[in-house]
Structure 1
Amino acid sequence: MTDSKQVNLDAAARLSVAPMMDWTDRHCRYFHRLMSQQALLYTEMVTAPAVINGDRARLLDFDGAEHPVALQLGGSIPAELARATRIANDWGYDEVNLNVGCPSDRVQSGCFGAVLMKQPDLVAECVAAMQDASAVEVTVKCRIGVDEQDPAKALPQFLDAIVGAGVRRVTIHARMAWLQGLSPKQNRDVPPLDYDLVHAMKRAHPQLHISINGGIATLAEARKHLDAGLDGVMIGRAAYHTPAEVLLQADQLIYGSDHPPRSAVDVAHRMLPYIEAHLSGGGRLNQITRHILGLFAGRPGARGWKRVLSEGAHLDGAGPELIERALEEVTTRAA
């Protein structure tokens, strides 16, 4: 449990790292925070029943260095979401986000994710209940539409409903979700992107803080969306697979910081105390190293760095010395 800090979330949300299942756990977020002090970080989606009934320490604990950090919840029962939101507040999260974008029609104590695009009034009830239970901001992440919907009609109706319920910040993944015929993985790539529609929603709702998500891989692309009038950009897979390219200069290029960016080698060294603390608490090295394999992507020595970590981090007794050995692959090639 970590106290939330006073933070300007509107400013932080100029750049955010998307919530990604099995990827953006606490170790990943700590690693990302070493590269950007200002970007807004999101947890993996956690269902409201899991927060209420599950192992809260395992699901919700985070390091204080991760601020600003948001918890993303999945669910569609207002009372459950309100209870989970109260717990998130107690845990010290800076924001609570409702998932209306996950391309799954799975049901667990009610539907959740992108299928809720079909029920904007229910989503409005959910966020209203969450806001009543929360001292921190409640936000929404959605798609532009789902299945047979016409996005040009469905998205404005959806935004009207949640704005009417008090939402003032939303992230829009600029793709449809096709729940019939496409897998969740295919839904991240196959439906075409419609950035123009998201920009049109900003013009229609100038008071609404809108971040765009989907297919954005570089800071240069992010700047184009910001310069064109959007309030924020959320980057997912590129931030995970090529984190140094996306995050090392984010504070300078997105937030105007005059502090020099850290180097990737410096970030690797700064991970060592965190790794030592994790291991001393009974954790395993590969629980962390799986998130840092892409740190040197596209740079000399990247293959050796990844090979050393992939081959050794799962072994019993693997520790910080493996990171040092992997770094030699990088520094030797760069010399």
Structure 2
Amino acid sequence: MDAADTINKAYRFSVAPMLDCTDRHFRVLMRLISKRALLYSEMVVAQALHHSNRRDKLLGFDPIEHPIALQIGGDNPALLADAARMADDWGYDEINLNVGCPSPRVKAGNFGACLMADPDHVARCVDAMVQATQRPVTVKHRVGIDDLDSDALLTAFVDRVAAAGAQRFSVHARKAWLEGLDPKQNRTIPPLQHERVVELKQRRPQLIIELNGGLDTPEDCLKALNDVDGAMVGRAAYAHPLRWQTIDALIFGEAERSVLASEVVLGLMPHAQRHLERGGRLWDLCRHLVQLVEGVRGARHWRRNLGLQAQRRGADLKVLQEAGIQLQDAGL
């Protein structure tokens, strides 16, 4: 593909799947900040999808969230294929298989990062998903797990899964210790190894490789794109949403624009109204807003007041509107 085609690819910048973070409300918030970023769902377990009668809760999203990827966890090819068909039916833009989560509960279910020990089985899972959908199937994984942590093993894993039909690899540039570290520690204690992801791309230039881990600013992402195809940001996007308002101009070549916190809060009102009409609580989405205003006078008071008001029983759109107007009056 030529440079013009590449720059328009959504995976050039994406917001990583994060449990309890990247729900439909946070994704709408981020879409108000970046029109072009690829947004990921929280991980949805294929078995839960198969047995649930509340699929709207697990799969529902607002049309403005496009482009959006559904991340699925599981190790049963048939159930993963079923989940891929559901994702197709619901209109997701792509489907991602989680081969990176190191949590003990996920490991007990024999999916997530532990699957890196069995590339052939991951390939069977990917093949089943590819056969079930017309959407791109991608994989998110680590550079290694426990003592299975060599460049040769990483390359062999990627080769095997690419042959099964995976169209992109989102590589968290840390190994995962499945024994002795909890998920939070696995995000910080194993050292970042960006160079290993870059070298993987150099060894396999024909593959689409996305770097995840330790990218804290838009400038970090732009620099990473000199060496890899995509930059994926997780906690830094959740903790500092407005930091990423320059992404569309910086990465995708859009016209520069400034996004105010008040515009995001007030822009959420149509989404909030639909959520309340479905029987949801205002706090379900306002909990994501506490990170929106930072480093300015009165930010702590605004966050505290929003939390108190939005968590009250029967809190309605007036709470959100008043919070937005407060920011607007402050020029934020």
The TM-score bracket by the shorter chain reads: over 0.9
**1:243 alignment partner AA:** P
* Distance of aligned partners of 1:151 and 1:329 in 2 relative to their CA distance in 1, 3 Å threshold: farther
Per-residue deviation at 1:153?
2.6
Pair 1:137 & 2:136 matched: yes
1:240-279, Cα deviation, whole Å (9 max, x unpaired): 1100002x11111111101524322211111122212222
User: Which region of structure 1 is more displaced relative to structure 2, 81-90 or 107-116?
Assistant: 107-116
Per-residue deviation at 1:105?
4.0
Rounded to whole Å, the distance in 2 between the matches of 1:82 and 1:59 is 17
Rounded to whole Å, the distance in 2 between the matches of 1:142 and 1:238 is 19
TM norm structure 2: 0.93
5+ long unaligned stretches in structure 2: none
Tell me what 2:61 maps to: 62
Pair 1:92 & 2:91 matched: yes
Tell me what 2:14 maps to: 16
5+ long unaligned stretches in structure 1: 1-6
Aligned residue for 1:155, secondary structure, equals: helix
**2:310 alignment partner AA:** A
Aligned residue for 2:175, secondary structure, equals: strand
Matches within 5 A, 1:72-87: 72-87=71-86
Matches within 5 A, 1:231-242: 231-242=229-240
Matches within 5 A, 1:189-200: 189-200=188-199
What is the aligned-residue identity percentage? 47
8 Å contact 1:146–1:179 — kept in the other structure? yes
Pair 1:244 & 2:242 matched: yes
Pair 1:309 & 2:306 matched: yes
**1:189 alignment partner AA:** T
Rounded to whole Å, the distance in 2 between the matches of 1:72 and 1:162 is 17
Aligned residues: 327
Rounded to whole Å, the distance in 2 between the matches of 1:146 and 1:203 is 22
1:199-229, Cα deviation, whole Å (9 max, x unpaired): 00011111111111112111011111012x2
1:155-191, Cα deviation, whole Å (9 max, x unpaired): 1111111112122211000001001000111111111
Rounded to whole Å, the distance in 2 between the matches of 1:111 and 1:36 is 35
C-alpha RMSD of the superposition = 2.0
Rounded to whole Å, the distance in 2 between the matches of 1:220 and 1:108 is 35
* Distance of aligned partners of 1:300 and 1:256 in 2 relative to their CA distance in 1, 3 Å threshold: farther
* Distance of aligned partners of 1:87 and 1:260 in 2 relative to their CA distance in 1, 3 Å threshold: same
TM norm structure 1: 0.93
Rounded to whole Å, the distance in 2 between the matches of 1:128 and 1:10 is 27
8 Å contact 1:34–1:267 — kept in the other structure? yes
Aligned residue for 2:252, secondary structure, equals: coil
Per-residue deviation at 1:235?
0.3
8 Å contact 1:151–1:176 — kept in the other structure? no
* Distance of aligned partners of 1:84 and 1:293 in 2 relative to their CA distance in 1, 3 Å threshold: same
1:120-145, Cα deviation, whole Å (9 max, x unpaired): 11101110110000110000000000
Per-residue deviation at 1:334?
4.7
Aligned residue for 1:175, secondary structure, equals: coil
Per-residue deviation at 1:66?
0.5
8 Å contact 2:262–2:325 — kept in the other structure? no
Rounded to whole Å, the distance in 1 between the matches of 2:9 and 2:176 is 29
Aligned residue for 1:234, secondary structure, equals: strand
Rounded to whole Å, the distance in 1 between the matches of 2:265 and 2:313 is 21
Q: Which of 289, 294, 297 matches 1:300?
A: 297
